[in-house]
Structure 1
Amino acid sequence: MTVQAIHKRASLAQSNARRDAAHFINGTFTAGSTNRGWDNHCPVDNSVIGFVPEGGKVEIDQAVSAARAALEGPWGRMSVVERTDLLGAVADEITRRFDEFLEAESLDTGKPMSLASHIDIPRGAANFKMFTDIAKTISTECFQTPTVDGTGAINYGVRRPKGVIAVISPWNLPLLLMTWKVGPALALGNTVVVKPSEETPLTATLLGEVMNKVGIPKGVYNVVHGFGPNSAGEFLTQHPDVNGITFTGETRTGEAIMRQAALGLRQVSFELGGKNPAIVFADADLDKAIEGTTRSVFSNTGQVCLGTERIYVQRPIFDEFVCRLKQAAETLRLGRPEDPNTNLGPLVSLEHREKVLSFYRKAVEEGATVITGGSIPEMPEDLAAGAWVQPTIWTGLPDHAAAVNEEIFGPCCHIRPFDTEEEAVSVANSTRYGLAAAIWTESLSRAHRVASRMEVGICWVNSWFLRDLRTAFGGSKTSGIGREGGVHSLEFYTELSNVCIKL
């Protein structure tokens, strides 16, 4: 996006126009029937963006019924080509309305427009494009089977949509991670009911306009806003007509959803918490390691499930690494999302900031040396009410410290020295999480050797956040269940049946 376009959107972002959200059920926007809701606050300055209605059991029943009817009606009767052509049009319309999605995402999250314009919105569109290509080219197995009478049989596989999919998406990458689920679900013939995070309702709502504009049949894509317990989230995961549940978020919430999914034996796909390590060996290209680790720790203000919170640096380069990462952190510029020079936004909410600050305090109590940061930054008067926090680096914590073991989800990390490769692997894997890792080394042999021992779903070598959407994505241990991406999404979003024909 051009600087001129960003400033054009900036004037809109600073206007007094309200942006109320709405449920999107059966192709229609509605405030629902609960007469409850909440004000949506922009984390940049805590100003009220608009009102969000809270959905209840009635709205969930309506959305699931609409999704079921579309599945058994027009959407279910479409050919793969017809369906994927429509979804390709969805991707094109997101791109056409790029500025609107960018503004909505930045208002909800406070993230710099320079970040969202390069990652969030393009990936939101790409998730539809990529999975339509896969849906048109999937194949199944076929076997010639001998029979006792010698005539033989043919066995072949048929993939059918799983049905109505509950999509519960997080607030850190609202459009990207929602369409990462909606894209394959719809491309493979399912219908969806989306419950976006209560913190970030706008882009899920806006996508409803896109669905109507390109002619997606009513009921295929539905959105119900609300909270978790005793609200839209719980009613959705409990609903007997939901056939599968996909969720990205905290491990504790995933455990609660899994208990609900056990009723009726619904399948789940979870990407959950992480406490991701980076290992920096003495032979690493230090310039690359500092640049990559700065991004992996501080991008999106540390609110990235794949981000790095634990860094293990081989002792000969430890002091230099700490010094240079400190310098990099202190050059980050906090400010309004529309400012092209801003590269660090606020946290998503004041409530989340208090959680992050509680870890900042706890780290000091447990003996951390604060290399930089550790508190709330001084901000201009017009931004002082926002959810700002300093990028923070610690050293000196014991391995059992809370800041070393618990997911913080803020712009912070702990750096610890190590001596041997074996020690590095051991401490990196000494966590109940297993989502991602990064290894920095110029040794090809070490790269392969160490990467294969990382107990994670994805391991980068000399890079971070480099994604091929065809590859398997998910977490190990308490970081998730299942894999999505490429053909791996087939296992969750479809049911495989075998057809046996005796010749």
Structure 2
Amino acid sequence: MTSAAILTLANYIDGALQPPRAGRYLDVHEPAIGAVYARCPDSSAEDIDAAVGAAQRAFPAWAALPAGQRARLLERIAERIETQLEAFAQAESRDSGKPLALARSLDIPRAIANLRFFAAAITQFASETHAGADALNYTLRAPLGVVGCISPWNLPLYLFTWKIAPALAAGNCVVAKPSEITPLTAWMLAQACIDAGLPPGVLNIVHGTGARAGQALIEHPGIAAISFTGSTRTGAAIASTLAPKFKKLSLEMGGKNATLVFADWEANAANLDTIVRSAFANQGQICLCGSRILIERSIYEKFKTDFVEKVRALKVGDPQDAASDLGAIVSRAHFDKVMGHIALAREEGGRVLYGGGAVRVDGRCSDGWFIAPTVIEGLAMDCHTNQEEIFGPVVTLIPFDSDDEAVMLANATRYGLAASLWTGSLTRAHRVAARLESGIVWINCWLRRDLRTPFGGVKDSGVGREGGVEALRFFTEAKNICVAL
């Protein structure tokens, strides 16, 4: 690719696309070919300050706008994305390395759904009243002001809109920082906002690294709250910065999710396909993927044989190829990290049943970053491989002998984001689900999401909840009014 073909992205500040004030840019790679295809702003505190200033100027008018009018503007943005769904899907696939089919069927439709859901939800966001013998109490909920939203690289537009939509719907103005690894659809979203007529300053998108732009955002005195999705390490750093400032904080962080398969599960091809998908969708780069598969010992060998056979049939290939089940790993650094974890698993005594190495894809992707779906058994629960989030196409198989042991193994990490359990017993399903230390539990399914439900984790997987009224409550401040009767 020649330098003339390289895209130059811009920040979106005060309603206009703008270059970074210091003139610095970061290289953006296309994972499937391992080459630079774009430059995004390497923004600084000066860019963040300009974005916060624009948001502060826009806030009074935006907060005063009736909820229905804010909702209509969010709907118009959703419409702009929907009319360009294929272009957004192509960009998401190119930027992240995920199969185009996945971006087309999941990422971009979900981004559109996020905007539409919160556009509708804000018109139904009711206050609370409490009538007593001598007083009437009612609750007002007001927007916080200017809020910061920081999103990750694995589901770029999907999770970017998941934060922005409720913040805007509730009447806040937003300064948002997408991942510098996958910035393309956030840049495209800016143009959609311009085309939709979103007032200047209501949404500002500032690109850059976490160390520079992200740190400036969380430290800015004009930011009332931060909503962050990303690694537990970064979330802990953000929490330590914001705690003394007494600002609202929502953290959705890492996971080491368990999939529990009991002997009485309905062992059919569709269910097995779902468990395989839960392990390897988006190259395992979804925080909800089940990377530890716990199997009742009486069916362990049969399940292992069937599971590995299904995994062998998965195709790793060019994201543009409709036949590809897995695409490229998002970056060279992350490729090296995942390969390092596989090497460590071998050192810890793990037996690689399938995969375990890089995959060379012929043609245009010969220099891309691809890893085979990898299945490992024979590892102790307390080893690094079963305790640390790998965030790649790597799963471990672990046998258990009883419900109690299954629960113990599932809970035996510092994370608690999601779990899925597979059983034909409704009694066991309810009993085990209630004992799992997890913010989300799927029974005989995976990744079925109702946007009305609370989303988030426990332990080191997060603080707070997103989705539905939980998100609208986070982005508003409650005030109780007491009237004597």
* Same fold at TM > 0.5: yes
For the pair 1:134 / 2:121, whether they are aligned, the reply is yes
Distance in 2 separating the partners of 1:14 and 1:410? 31
Alignment correspondent of 1:353: 335
Match of 1:65 among 40, 53, 70: 53
Cα RMSD (Å): 1.5
Match of 1:170 among 136, 147, 152: 152
Partners of 1:465 and 1:117 in 2: CA distance: 17
Local SS of the residue matching 1:466: coil
2:372 is matched with which residue?
390
Q: Are 1:35 and 2:16 counterparts?
A: no
Q: For residue 79 of structure 2, what is the aligned residue in structure 1? A: 92
Are positions 1:254 and 2:235 aligned together?
Answer: yes
SS of the residue 1:137 aligns to: coil
Paired AA for residue 267 in structure 1? K
Which deviations, in whole Å up to 9, do the C-alpha atoms of 1:192-213 show, x marking residues without a partner? 1111111001111111111111
Counterpart Cα distance in 2 of 1:39 and 1:124: 25
Which of 404, 412, 417 is 1:430 aligned to?
412
Matched, 1:217 2:204: no
Question: Does the CA contact (< 8 Å) of 2:167 and 2:472 recur in 1?
Answer: no
Distance in 2 of aligned mates of 1:263 and 1:58: 23
Cross-structure match for 2:11: 23
Does residue 263 of structure 2 align to residue 282 of structure 1? yes
Matched, 1:48 2:36: yes
List per-residue Cα deviations over 1:162-197 (Å, max 9, x = no partner): 121111000000000010110111111111111111
Question: The residue matched to 1:117 in structure 2 has which SS?
Answer: helix
Shift of 1:348: 0.2
Contact residue 452 and residue 467 of structure 2 kept, 8 A: yes
Q: Is the 8 A contact 1:182 1:192 kept in 2?
A: yes
Q: Which residue of structure 2 lines up, in the alignment, with residue 10 of structure 1?
A: none
Alpha carbons 2:130, 2:137 under 8 Å: kept: yes
Letter aligned with residue 29 of structure 1? L
The partner residue of 1:468 within 442, 445, 450 is: 450
Conservation of the 8 A alpha-carbon contact between 1:280 and 1:289: no
Match of 1:286, SS?
coil
2: CA distance, partners of 1:61 / 1:271: 25
Code of the aligned partner of 2:393: P
CA distance in 1, matches of 2:259, 2:2: 39
Mapped partners of 2:322, 2:272: distance in 1: 22
After TM superposition, the structure 1 = structure 2 runs for residues 35-434 of structure 1, keeping only pairs within 5 Å, are 35-72=23-60, 74-146=61-133, 152-229=134-211, 231-287=212-268, 288-434=270-416
Following superposition, the deviation at residue 291 of structure 1 comes to 1.2
Q: Deviations over 1:332-358 (max 9, x none)?
A: 112222211111101101110000001
1:446-465 to structure 2, matched below 5 A, reads 446-465=428-447
Q: Give the percent of matched residue pairs that are identical in Structure 1 and Structure 2.
A: 44
Give the Cα separation in 2 of the matches to 1:410 and 1:159.
41
Deviations 1:431-453 (A, max 9, x none): 11000001011111111111111
Give how far 1:364 is off: 0.4
3-state DSSP class of the match of 1:345?
Answer: coil
Contact 1:20 1:49 in 2 (8 A): no
Moved more, 260-269 or 440-449: 260-269
Deviations 1:216-251 (A, max 9, x none): 10001111111122x000000000110110011110
Listed one character per residue, the Cα deviations across residues 237-287 of structure 1 (whole Å, up to 9, x for unaligned) are: 000110110011110000001112124211111110000001100111122
In structure 2, give the amino acid aligned to 1:137.
Q
| Residue 381 of structure 1: how far off its partner (Å) | 4.8
TM-score, length-normalised on structure 1? 0.94
Which stretch shows the higher mean deviation, 194-203 or 30-39? 30-39
Identify unmatched segments of 5+ residues in structure 1.
1-12, 147-151
Q: Secondary structure at the match of 1:172?
A: coil
Residue-by-residue CA offset, 1:70-89 (whole Å, 9 max, x unaligned): 112x3122111111111111
Q: Which amino acid aligns with 1:70?
A: A
Q: Distance in 1 between matches of 2:332 and 2:279?
A: 20
Shift of 1:143: 2.8
In 1: Cα distance, 2:310 partner to 2:10 partner:
41
TM-score, normalised with respect to structure 2: 0.97
Tell me, in whole angstroms, the C-alpha distance in 2 between the residues paired with 1:382 and 1:81. Answer: 48
- Stretches (4+) displaced over 6 A: 13-16
- Aligned length, in residue pairs: 484
C-alpha contact 2:319 2:328 (8 A) present in aligned 1: no
Distance in 1 (alpha carbons) for counterparts of 2:307 and 2:394: 11
**Structure 2 stretches lacking a partner, 5+ long:** none
> Structure 1: which amino acid aligns with 2:59?
L
**Letter aligned with residue 427 of structure 2:** S
Measure, in 1, the Cα distance between the counterparts of 2:28 and 2:150.
18
One of 451, 463, 470 as aligned partner of 1:488: 470
